[in-house]
Amino acid sequence: MQRAIDEVGEVGHLVGDLPGPGGHPVPYQTFVAPGLLAAAAMNGAIFDTTFNFFVKFKYAHTYDAMLATPLRVDEVAAGEVVWALLRGTIYAAGFLVTMGALGLVESGWAVLALPAAVLIGLGFAGAGLAAGPGAVNAGAGASSAVAGEGPPGPGPG
């Protein structure tokens, strides 16, 4: 087990330093960390608007309860996007703090990575919410066809 941990730790040493701005060498860990921060923001937002949306819609019937109140569909969708943005921002902020604790932040300007991560989260939250309802509707049609009810849509006229 220790050998596997040592080998994973050596990946940065295998790659070595990479050329950075002005030709200055940048350690591999410092080079990769911002990309992982962006991936954390993306994963937080896309997961919340795809799989969580599906579970709330199909099994928990959360949206049925919400729409039984005076809320409109666009308000529910906006709330889902805001929550996904918040989740992606929390993931990115936690990752940024971890980067600082590991000494991978070389400039105070790294704080500006957080607003960039929010924009990444917004893009993926919107994409996930746009794709989520289509996947749920496609799944509903497939399940009704499996049950022998035929495809959804108008019946024989």
List the chain domain ranges: 25-132
First vs last Cα of the chain: how many Å apart?
Answer: 67
Residue 141 has pLDDT above 70, yes or no: no
What pLDDT, on the 0 to 100 scale, is given for residue 133?
62
Residue 157 has pLDDT above 50, yes or no: no
> Which pTM does this prediction carry?
0.70
What pLDDT, on the 0 to 100 scale, is given for residue 57?
87
Going by pLDDT thresholds of 50, 70 and 90, the confidence category of residue 24 is confident
Residue 135 has pLDDT above 90, yes or no: no
- Number of Cα atoms under 13 Å in the Cβ half of residue 47: 10
> Which letter does DSSP use for residue 84 in this model?
H
What pLDDT, on the 0 to 100 scale, is given for residue 121?
92
CA dihedral 65, 69, 75, 78 (to 10 degrees): -30
